[in-house]
C-alpha cells in the first residue's frame, strides 16, 4: 500500500510488506481475495508480483499437495525471500518473470491474483492481458489496488494535506488511480467482471498509519523537490502526531472471470 515502497531498500521493503499484511485492513482484504478466488484442491494458482511470498503459503494450503502455486516477481531479493518462506511447501514454485510477459503457457492457470502490483507497472493493461492469456476459460483472477487520489489526511492545515496527496499521486505512485480502473481494464482485455468492491482503509492511530504511509519520508522528498514548503510540512507532520489522528484511502478489489466458449 505504501507510496514510497519503490524507494526502500529490499530489507525495509520486505519489512514494510509484512507490516502492511499484518495490519487490520491488510488482513481483511487479503482474506477477502482468498475467499473470492474459490480455490479447490488440485488447482494451479498464480501470484503475479508475489513479493516476499506473503500470500503463497495460504494459497498452497488452499490447493493442497495435488495443486500447484506459482509465484512470479521481477525482484531477485523478493524471490529469494519468497523461496525461503515457502521451502516447506513442495508444490510452490517461485520464478523470475515480468508481469508484462508472463513465462507461462496459454490457459495453463486455474486462478490468479495480483496484489498492489499494477499500481507500479509501466503498462497495467498489458499485465492484465497476460493474465487473460494464461488463465483458462472459466478461471478467475483477483486484483487488489489502492486509489491514492482518495488519500485524505486530517490536519488543521488542509492545504498541506491536499498538496501531500497531490505529490503522492503525481510523483510517487506511477498509476495512482489504478484502483478505480480495475473493472474497466478487466473488461477491456476480455474478462467478465464478476465483482468490484471498494473499502476504506482508515487509521485512527498515527503509528499504524505511518507503518503504511511513511509520511515523514514522503513529506521530506516532497519538500526537497519543492512540492511542499518545508516549514509548513514540518509543522504539518508535528500536528499529525498531536491529538486525534485520522487518515483514510479507498482500496479496490476486483474479480474477473475468463468467459467460457458458451457463456
Ligand X SMILES: C[S@@+](CC[C@H](N)C(=O)[O-])C[C@H]1O[C@@H](n2cnc3c(N)ncnc32)[C@H](O)[C@@H]1O
Give the binding site for ligand X (CB under 6 A): 5, 17, 21, 49-51, 54, 73-75, 78, 98-100, 115-117, 120-121
Give the residue at shortest CB distance from ligand X. Answer: 51
With CA atoms as reference, report the closest residue to 122 among 99, 144, 146, 106: 99
Q: Which is nearer to ligand X, 77 or 107 (CB)?
A: 77
Q: Which is nearer to ligand X, 74 or 166 (CB)?
A: 74
Minimum distance from residue 95 beta carbon to ligand X (Å): 10
Q: Which is nearer to ligand X, 59 or 186 (CB)?
A: 59
Minimum distance from residue 102 beta carbon to ligand X (Å): 9
Q: Which is nearer to ligand X, 79 or 233 (CB)?
A: 79
State how far the alpha carbon of 137 is from the alpha carbons of 101, 143, 191, 238, 256, in Å.
19, 18, 10, 53, 11
Minimum distance from residue 182 beta carbon to ligand X (Å): 15
Minimum distance from residue 59 beta carbon to ligand X (Å): 11
Minimum distance from residue 200 beta carbon to ligand X (Å): 19
Which strands sit side by side in the sheet containing 92-96, from one edge to the other?
Answer: 92-96, 68-73, 44-48, 109-115, 135-153, 247-257, 192-203
Residue 257 burial (CB count, 10 A): 18
Minimum distance from residue 249 beta carbon to ligand X (Å): 15
Minimum distance from residue 176 beta carbon to ligand X (Å): 14
Q: Which is nearer to ligand X, 49 or 139 (CB)?
A: 49
Q: Which is nearer to ligand X, 160 or 169 (CB)?
A: 169
Q: Which is nearer to ligand X, 185 or 237 (CB)?
A: 185
Angle at 30 between CA 258 and CA 18, to 5 degrees: 130
Amino acid at each position: 500500500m505504501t507510496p514510497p515502497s519503490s524507494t526502500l531498500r529490499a530489507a525495509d521493503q520486505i519489512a514494510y510488506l509484512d507490516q502492511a499484511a499484518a495490519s487490520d485492513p491488510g488482513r481483511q482484504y487479503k482474506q477477502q481475495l482468498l475467499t473470492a478466488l474459490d480455490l479447490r484442491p488440485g488447482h494451479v494458482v498464480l501470484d503475479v508480483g508475489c513479493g516476499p511470498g506473503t500470500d503463497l503459503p495460504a494459497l498452497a494450503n488452499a490447493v493442497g499437495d495435488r495443486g500447484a502455486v506459482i509465484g512470479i516477481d521481477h525482484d531477485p531479493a523478493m524471490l529469494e525471500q519468497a523461496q525461503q518462506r515457502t521451502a516447506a511447501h513442495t508444490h510452490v514454485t517461485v520464478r523470475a518473470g515480468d508481469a508484462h510477459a508472463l513465462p507461462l503457457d496459454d490457459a495453463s492457470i486455474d486462478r490468479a491474483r495480483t496484489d498492489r502490483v499494477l499500481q507500479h507497472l509501466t503498462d497495467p493493461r498489458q499485465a492484465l492481458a497476460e493474465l487473460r492469456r494464461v488463465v483458462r476459460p472459466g478461471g478467475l483472477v483477483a486484483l487488489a489496488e489502492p486509489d491514492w487520489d482518495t488519500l485524505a489526511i486530517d490536519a488543521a492545515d488542509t492545504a498541506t494535506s491536499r498538496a501531500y496527496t497531490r505529490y503522492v499521486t503525481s510523483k510517487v505512485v506511477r498509476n495512482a488511480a489504478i484502483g478505480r480502473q480495475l473493472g474497466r481494464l478487466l473488461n477491456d482485455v476480455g474478462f467478465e467482471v464478476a465483482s468490484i468492491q471498494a473499502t476504506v482503509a482508515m487509521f485512527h492511530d498515527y503509528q499504524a498509519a505511518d507503518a503504511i504511509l511513511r509520511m515523514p519520508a514522503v513529506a521530506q522528498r516532497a519538500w526537497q523537490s519543492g512540492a511542499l514548503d518545508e516549514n509548513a510540512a514540518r509543522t504539518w507532520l508535528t500536528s499529525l502526531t498531536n491529538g486525534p489522528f485520522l487518515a483514510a484511502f479507498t482500496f479496490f478489489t476486483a474479480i474477473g472471470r475468463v468467459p467460457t466458449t458458451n457463456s
